[in-house]
Structure 1
Amino acid sequence: MGKQALEIFRESLPVLQVLSDPNRQDILLLLSENGKMTVNEITEQLPLSRPAVSHHLKLLKNAGVVGVEQLGTLRYYFLSMQDSVDLLRRLLAALERDCL
């Protein structure tokens, strides 16, 4: 693996790690199917507690995979994956260039 590919891989690790959890995958699927959702709306659809859903959303938000919008007292979560997808595309291109 070349130096640039390794740097991009290391930069991609937070996204790859956050996407590896099945519960977070389920949350992303719900958001992709339903658009903006509150923690309570997500919790109603999953066999997880509200604190567990909040924890997963925090990790997804910190990795830049979801965004949050405050409307009154409600926080709506939504997919925000463009930067992550662009980073993973850069990783794939670097791996193809340097490793194949």
Structure 2
Amino acid sequence: MNATEKKKEYDAKLDSKKRLTIRGARTEYYHVTEFEDGSVKLSPRELIHPDEISKRTLEMMDKAMKNLEEGKVSEPVDMEELEKLLEE
């Protein structure tokens, strides 16, 4: 089955706490994207346990934290410049 083919389709209503139930959800976590036209896209996410992060990645994170503590950091990033680029 193609990932873009419909598996199911149904109408749903928000409950009193503004929650929506996904019937038969296959994953526990979803990334939500809301669009200007009111449509919503849900993308399944899987969170991993810290023990599943590779040793190399953990070593790189430790090195980055050590550099931060020692003041070995780059110049601050000008976020205004980035915002201008994103507006274009």
Q: Same fold per TM (> 0.5)?
A: no
Aligning the two structures, in what range does the TM-score lie when normalised by the shorter sequence? under 0.3
Greater gyration radius: 2
The structure with higher relative contact order (CA 8 Å, sep 6+) is 1
